[in-house]
Amino acid sequence: MSMWGGRFQGLTASEFRTFNDSLRFDYKLAPFELQCCLAWIEVLHDKAVLNANELEVLQQGLEGLASDIQANPELPLATGAEDIHGWVEEELERRLGVVARKLHTGRSRNDLVATDLRLYALDASQQVGTVLLAVVEALLAFAERYEHQVMPGYTHLQRAQPVLVAHWALAYVEMLERDFQRLQQARERMSQCPLGSGALAGSGIEIKRTELAKSLGFAGACRNSLDAVSDRDFVVDLLYTASLTMIHLSRLSEDVIFYASGEAGFFTVSDRVASGSSLMPQKKNPDVFELIRGKTGRLIGHLNAMMVNLKGLPLAYNKDLQEDKEGFFDAMNEWQQCLSILAYVLPEVSVNGQKAQRAAKLGYSNATDLADYLVDRGIAFRDAHEISGRLVLKAIEKGVPLESLSVDEMQTECEQIDVDVFAALSLQASLARRNVYGGTAPSQVAEALRQAKMRFRGERAGLAHVRQARLSDVPAIAELIRYWAAEGEHLPRKPEDIMQAIHTFAVAEYEGRVVGCGALYVYGTGLAEIRSLGLYPDFTGQGLGAELVEFSLEQARQLGILRVIVLTRRPKFFVRLGFTVADKATWPEKVMKDCEYCPRKHACDETGLELWLGKKQKTVAADRILLAELPNLAL
């Protein structure tokens, strides 16, 4: 059965069908096609195109197909259907009879495939986001394991200045965090539903497209039908993000390959994730990293192909867009695989501490420190640079490190050099001198690692179950707050007050239901408070409370807030998340204004805690309450 055969009298040539048909690759869209069909028959029933019995028959048939596809994803390939849309209709008609012929009423393959592909992209990008954060987590663990280890830093692939290994790892954390942000932004843009746009001009059935979009899990409906059926920007967005992520993975791989080579020897890749040579018994090859480096070109090629495909297309749908899928499917698969294997192998990489530190001292990497030493003595930097360069040349001629020159030898170039120069030329002094924000000084790296771990927890929370609240969440949030107010844990809040402050709320979802909430309230003092935090009891102990807190902390970080506070009767929960006990008396008076409405105002049993997102401006005395005395909380 053809979906378009009524206009045609002659048979379709087999050569054309082989060239034209897409089932061999678009069968991967089957789960999303069936998801769209299940939502669409509800629309048809609402518009009286289907009666209740027909709706039930089609629902059962589609759910049966979905179960069969789950059991055997390649089931459609056993047929001769043109594409996944044709296969679904043909299979339904074979199983259910003529009622299946009503399924396509009011829709087109154009808006249907555009919706299928967006649903696929949302699902695949969610999986990619998970493994991308797994790589970030592995890099953070690597940085923590080797936080104090020194290695050479390079420019032009020549030893330049010493850096901490953790500083190197955190550089890639920065890159991958930007990739994660790009991925999330792409997901936000693609969460618009084309279904109901018809072939190009809109559906002939007056449907509620926004409600249809929500039922499919989209944030909204595409605003223009011409754009909706022909837009593949979301494919380009993901291919670009994939390509840039792979470029970052390729750079990391190149570093590891070099650092693990016999010429460097700073890193060792374990036998578990390396291979040998079929000819040379001594070889140990870092194949994983070489493959990642090689696959990068493959993904960049898919991006280029997609952009060239789109560059000359007139509105609206054109068959050229059938070429959007094979490269896209391959790219999403390879992207996820490369991230997954990297997260697996990074713990198998170790640092040869002695060799790395010894190498950090070579190459006259302390020459800049000598110049800085001279600047401290009032010598202009350009003169100090020249003096240091001449002393490096003298050391090279003697075949010794810079610090092995005697004071007398150094004074031949500059009389202001004294015996304290040797302390300035030490590895430890070189690192400590880079004590600026973003520098490699141990104190800066420790703070950067702390901040990165907090950001990671917030990013993981946002990807998992927690999201920004919407107006439609107000009833659920109000119900949660009423529940906890009745338990004496929250102050009551009116739904209209929640609606007015909805932008401050986040919600935790579980299987489509709002089961938790929390708000980030910003005071005029620049402090922010996490309040109205709670979960239904059945959902405690699953990490959702921590995810809500981490999501709010990430919001605060994005706003540039340095300190977040909380008042709670369950302080131990917040201590586990990095908060420290604080003296409420030191907080601005307006922070405590809600206490006027608290029934326990004169017998307050809440503990004040705070967390610094930026560098602490003062030391907080956390020993006023012993952690062992704090109550437990199962959030």
- Side by side, which strands form the sheet with 466-468? 466-468, 505-510, 513-522, 528-535, 563-568, 607-612, 580-581
**Residue 156 falls in the annotated catalytic set:** yes
**Please, are residues 480 and 497 in contact by the beta-carbon 8 Å criterion?**
no
Q: Catalytic: which of 156, 278, 406, 602?
A: 156
In whole angstroms, how far apart are CA 265 and each of 384, 538, 568? 34, 53, 51
The C-alpha atoms of residue 55 and residue 61 are separated, in whole angstroms, by 10
List, in sequence order, every residue forming a beta bridge with 466; answer none if it has no partner. Answer: 508
Q: DSSP labels for 153-170?
A: EEETTEEEEEEEHHHHHH
- Token representation of residue 292: 């990642």
CA distances from 41 to 48, 50, 274, 470, 605 (A): 10, 8, 53, 27, 55
Cα separation of 561 and 554, whole Å?
Answer: 10
Residue from 612, 625, 497, 498 nearest 562 by CA = 612
Residue pointed to by tokens 């944030």: 219
Q: Are 58 and 32 in contact (CB under 8 A)?
A: no
DSSP 464-490: TTEEE--GGGHHHHHHHHHHHHHTTSS
Catalytic residue among 67, 261, 277, 443: 277
Burial class (CB in 10 A: 0-12, 13-18, 19+), 19: exposed
For residues 307 and 329, what is the distance between their CA atoms, to the nearest angstrom?
15
Residue 37 in tokens:
């069909």
Query: Residue 392's closest CA among 381, 401, 383, 384?
Result: 401
* DSSP-based three-state secondary structure for 107: coil
State the residue for tokens 């809040």: 493
Specify the pairing of strand 528-535 against strand 158-164.
Answer: unpaired
Beta bridge partners of 467: 507
Q: Distance between CA 240 and CA 133 in Å, rounded?
A: 18
| Dist CA 263 CA 260 (whole Å) | 8
Quick one: tokens of 17?
């069908």
What are 258-266's contacts with CB under 8 Å, separation 24+?
259/151, 260/286, 260/349, 264/359, 265/352, 265/355, 266/151, 266/152, 266/351, 266/352, 266/355, 266/356, 266/359
Alpha-carbon gap, residue 264 to 256, rounded angstroms: 10
End-to-end CA distance of the chain: 56
The CA dihedral of 265, 269, 270, 276, to the nearest 10 degrees, is -90
Which residues are known to be catalytic?
156, 277
